[in-house]
Amino acid sequence: MTGPNPEKVMQIITGGWATSILGSAAHHGIFTVLEGNPANTETVAKKTGISLRGAQALLDGLTGLSFLSLSDGRYQNTADASMFLVKGKPSYLGGMAEVFLQDFATWQNMPEAARTGLPSAQNTTDVADNPFWHVLVPAIAALSFPVAQMAAERLGVAKAGAASWLDVGGGSGVWSAVWLGVNKQAIGTQLDWPNVNKIAREFVANFGVADRFQTIDGDFHTTDFGTEKYDFAVYAHVAHQESPAENIANFRKFRKAIKPGGTLVVNDFILNDDRTGHPFAMLFASQMLVATKNGFTYRQSDYRNWLGEAGFKSVEIVPTPTPSTIVFAS
């Protein structure tokens, strides 16, 4: 049969089912129970503490989504589930599935947000003490591991000696965890809200580098970054929640804070100049619409213009194996 096919439309319409199944399975630790231990429905229900009926529904759905395989009545993780959905692994993304599951109410406001251009829900990115941060910050850390490693290699962080950097809005502290791990002489400093820095200190401590990780409690919009203090600076997944004017202001403070010859690393979901790009980055504009007052996904040309206006002479934009892009500015 040729011609239009409703399959993709139906997949998107029922996308909430997939998110609910995956988020619930992550919440109850189904993938963790099955890692290296294939089991039947009764065993999964017993080990996770959920009902037999609930276990069967989730196992059916996960198998339909190709996260589990079924053989002789026993379920086991597929390669993707083993890599990204087993709790305790650095690449774990199950927490992000839980965040999206909890965020359904925000997305129900999309028609109104599209009409007005403003979020009708509470603006979580502007609220420092919102419990949402305790869920989101560690949940998205896994997305940054490969990018932080790639940036460290490109900048030669491992051989930079007693280098120092400032990570503004650093969240979990994942960039410092990675960079301090490859350079035993370096010092990493993170500027973020007090409750987020507390999460970061706990996260970084798990990597055995807490003695070289410092935090500054404050709002980066009003906190001074210092003058010629740092060899590197990091601005990862923050620009998308800021307005163009706010990004320029922050870039100017970065330019002042970095030592001569130093580099600012910007990591974000960045579109091509014609607003094409990675599908995730293109969808992310809607996340900013429903959740922020001023945020958006911006183009490569936007970053070049902002950084140039802030005084950076060299701007290099580099794709990554993830949906995000790295910008190196000096």
Angle between helices 52-64 and 41-48 (to 10 degrees): 110
Per DSSP, the three-state class of 4 is: coil
Q: In angstroms, what CA-CA distances link 184 with 119, 175, 177, 181, 315?
A: 44, 15, 11, 7, 28
DSSP 117: S
pLDDT of residue 1: 59
Per DSSP, the three-state class of 94 is: helix
Are 63 and 128 part of one and the same domain? Answer: no
Domain boundary (36, 58, 84) is at 84
Q: Which residues of the chain have pLDDT under 50?
A: 123
Are 76 and 139 part of one and the same domain? Answer: no
pLDDT of residue 127: 55
Are 275 and 150 part of one and the same domain? Answer: yes
Are 311 and 258 part of one and the same domain? Answer: yes
pLDDT of residue 139: 72
pLDDT of residue 132: 58
Are 74 and 129 part of one and the same domain? Answer: no
Are 321 and 217 part of one and the same domain? Answer: yes
Are 135 and 74 part of one and the same domain? Answer: no
**Does any domain span residue 187?**
yes
**Does any domain span residue 113?**
no
Dump pLDDT digits (tens) for 103-154: 888 899 999 999 999 987 554 555 555 555 566 677 778 889 999 999 999 9
- Report yes or no: 118 and 112 within 8 Å, Cβ to Cβ: no
The range of the structural domain enclosing residue 23 comes to 7-84
pLDDT of residue 140: 77
**Does any domain span residue 108?**
no
pLDDT of residue 321: 92
Query: What total number of domains does the chain contain?
Result: 2
**Does any domain span residue 242?**
yes
Are 140 and 221 part of one and the same domain? Answer: yes
Dump pLDDT digits (tens) for 173-195: 999 999 999 999 999 999 999 99
**Does any domain span residue 263?**
yes
pLDDT of residue 2: 79
In terms of Cα–Cα distance, which of 243, 248, 244, 224 is closest to 307? 248
**CATH number of the domain encompassing residue 14:** 1.10.10.10
- Opening angle at CA 66, ends 64 and 70, nearest 5: 75
pLDDT of residue 3: 86
Are 252 and 303 part of one and the same domain? Answer: yes
**Does any domain span residue 96?**
no
Are 165 and 251 part of one and the same domain? Answer: yes
Residue 290 CA to its chain's centroid (Å) = 17
Are 18 and 137 part of one and the same domain? Answer: no
Read off the tokens for 256: 């002042």
The DSSP element (H or E) to which 287 belongs, if any, is helix 279-291
